[in-house]
Amino acid sequence: MSGPRTAANTTGGSFRMIAVWLLAGVMAACGEQPRTSVTTPSSLPVPDATTAAAGMPATDASSQHDTVSSAGHYLAARQALYFNDVGQSATFFLETLEAETDSIPLLRQAFLTQYYYGDIERAAALGRQLESLDVVVPLGGEPGTALAIRKADWTAALILADKIAEDGTSLVLAGIIRGWSLVAADRGDAGISALLEAGRLAVSQDDGMPPYFRLHAALMAEHLGLTAEAEQRVIGLDSKLRGAHLLLQLAALHARRGNWEAVDRIITTRLSGQFNHRLVRGALERQAGTLPGPHRMIANAVVAMALAERDNESGQSIAARLRFSLFIDPGNEFTRLLLAQQMADFGQNEQALATLGRIPSDGVYGQLARLTEASVIEEQGDAQTAIDRLRQVVEMDPENASLHQRLGDIHRRHSQFRQSRDAYMAALDLGSDSGGLHRSLGVSLERLGETGAAETHLLRAIEIDPSDAYALNYLGYWWADEGRNLDEAIAMIEQAVSQRPDSGFFVDSLGWVHFRLGDPVTAVGYLERATELEPSDPEITSHLGDVYWVLGRHDEARFKWRLALSLSSDETERKLLSDRLEKGLPASEIPASITPASKSGNRTD
């Protein structure tokens, strides 16, 4: 069997799922990784930019325009925005501004791009210039506030927080900064009150006050030496927090209080296998004697706010808050990890790898950084280096079943089925029993010709998760292709399609099975729908051409085969399509059950 092509066995996993686990902060088996971004909605991290084509690499915008004139600099800046190159854009907007110093639109653009690029000092200067002109710009007071915090000028930070609050969309941010600045200035009671007031502004109808405010109120009490109050505020809090970054901050507080039972409970029951639990414990032990300063606390709170509000924030705001956080706390590993993920999301892979390289492997987020590096490298097309990097992670944490499964996934994505089988078996031996693991192992075994074992594991995957559309589609297609268990096979594929109606691969499977079972009339509708869903897939397009040929629609068949040929880069597939264009569909590939009666009502050339 050539195997049904589904998103589960043809598309690469993405490092973006790491961010989802990180935010969920719960135990999770390492299944297939959908392409998910931590910065949703996924807009460009720059203002007023046209969305670039997916996967568009960052380019040197200066090569696209004559930048001798200010108009040329402006066009170059816009081009850089289009290609997600915020650094180049920031440079060109500044160069344009040198020639047109009184242009308020250029001042706005220059300010925003400098902020998103991370040049906080220059952004602060531009923000002050805009303020002197009585021009209000979103985020305008934030870079100056970041400068005050970094200098520990808490009086200035309080004044600037009030300035930030004038932007009604930044009231929560202003309250967080005001609260911690008051604590740092030895006005603790007022600081906790200011923080909780900001929390009330963030209350949602369904979930109430975000629990990270309760965490930071406890941290403020700890900072003020109010030990009993700090411990009281965190009672039961671990069940409320949903982000691993927040859970780790709570674990660090417990570690400083010497409550190692609570620390171990968080690590073992709430952190996924993407963390190296041993290294996390070691890092918390090393940090237990040090109380983080207000800079770290503000940086963590700002990122928590940005992530909690990510459904209502643009990619621009999240990018700015990450830069804000890293500027005031350059050693913040979590912020650096998120920033690297965002860079990679926008195709800035080299910058992402450089950023990840600054996260130590033995730190709390070290394993996540190395996993993210492997995924970025894989997306760059260097599969072997990515595999080698991932093997190094596995060697550091050999008893972690999810890492073995992740290693199996990358081998499977690159058709190294023997290695993927061995990695999946290692995960099973370590006690993993997830549906995703059994499905992936079943696929690898089938590709190796170990059909009995493959079927056993696919059935186990469906037993564990009867709604696993990938396993249903794979096993149903397999059975139908071999003429076995036909009623159940069709039902499986139909269930998969009902759950994933927008999957062109699943719809193609259903149409192709109907064709193989001798019903081209039913098949053609599904295959036409599949090509609409996956218009650039050569195999789906070729399938539709085959059915058109059997239905006597030869001109349309040749058109589809010609289109599939233009889409395909596989030499075997291209040879097959060329033969079809020359000779038509071979009789040997027309199901025997298809008779002239099957084609009733169909036109011919």
Give 414-430 pLDDT, tens digit per residue: 999 999 999 999 999 99
Is residue 477, in this structure, part of any structural domain at all? no
Which carries the bigger pLDDT value, residue 392 or residue 21?
392
9-62: pLDDT as tens digits: 443 334 344 444 344 444 443 334 332 232 322 332 333 322 222 232 333 333
What pLDDT score was predicted for residue 204?
77
538 occurs within a structural domain:
yes
Inform me whether the pLDDT recorded for 546 exceeds 50: yes
User: Which residues lie across from 208 on neighbouring strands?
Assistant: 204
Question: Has residue 277 been placed in a domain?
Answer: no
Q: How far apart are CA 119 and CA 100, in angstroms?
A: 21
3-class DSSP state for residue 11? coil
Instruction: Please report whether residue 176 resides in a domain.
Output: no
Predicted local confidence at residue 140, as pLDDT: 86
Query: If you count them, how many residues does the chain have?
Result: 605
User: Do residues 424 and 45 touch, judged by C-beta distance below 8 A?
Assistant: no
Both tokens of 3, joined, read 């195997």
Note the pTM of the prediction, 2 decimals.
0.79
Measured between its terminal Cα atoms, the distance across the chain in Å is: 33
Domain boundary among 86, 117, 137: 137
Does the residue 245 lie in any domain?
Answer: no
Closest CA to 360 of 339, 387, 329, 337: 337
Q: Please tell me the least confidently modeled range out of 42-56, 395-409, 578-592.
A: 42-56
- Asked if the model's pLDDT at residue 118 lies above 90, the reply is no
The answer to whether residue 419 is domain-embedded is no
Give 204's strand partners.
Answer: 208
Contact 39, 318 (CB under 8 A): yes
At CA 61, angle to CA 58 and CA 67, rounded to 5?
A: 170
Judge whether 52 lies within some domain.
yes
CB 441 within 8 A of CB 457: yes
400 has a pLDDT exceeding 90:
yes
Q: Note whether 512 and 538 are within 8 A (CB).
A: no
The per-residue pLDDT for 111 is 80
> Average pLDDT, stretch 198-205?
86
Which domain-ending residue is among 137, 155, 174? Answer: 137
Largest distance between two CA atoms of the chain: 90
- The whole-number pLDDT of residue 66 equals 40
Give pLDDT, residue 558.
97
Q: By residue range, what is the domain housing residue 70?
A: 43-137
Residues sharing a CB contact under 8 Å with residue 419, sequence separation 6 or more, in sequence order: 408, 411
Residue 247 has pLDDT above 50, yes or no: yes
Amino acid in position 172:
V
CA distances from residue 492 to 142, 277, 344, 504 in whole angstroms, order as listed: 55, 39, 37, 16
Domain termination residue (choose one: 76, 110, 137): 137
The count of structural domains within the chain is 2
Residue 324 in contact with residue 120, Cβ under 8 Å? yes
**What's the whole-number mean pLDDT along residues 549-554?**
96
- The per-residue pLDDT for range 473-530, each reduced to its tens digit, is 999 999 988 888 988 999 999 999 999 999 999 999 999 999 988 999 999 999 999 9
pLDDT-derived band at 107 (thresholds 50, 70, 90) equals confident
Which amino acid does the sequence have at 516? R
Residue 319 domain flag:
no
DSSP letters along 225-270, please? Answer: T-HHHHHHHTTTGGGT---HHHHHHHHHHHHHTT-HHHHHHHHHHH
pLDDT of residue 296: 97
- Average pLDDT of the segment spanning 429-453: 97
CA–CA dist 49, 81 (Å, integer): 6
Stronger pLDDT, 377 or 163, i.e. the higher one:
377
The radius of gyration of the chain from alpha carbons, rounded to an integer in Å, stands at 28
Instruction: Dump pLDDT digits (tens) for 166-175.
Output: 877 889 999 9
- Residue 516's domain is classified under what CATH number? 1.25.40.10
Question: What pLDDT was estimated at residue 315?
Answer: 55
Token pair belonging to 551 = 């239905």
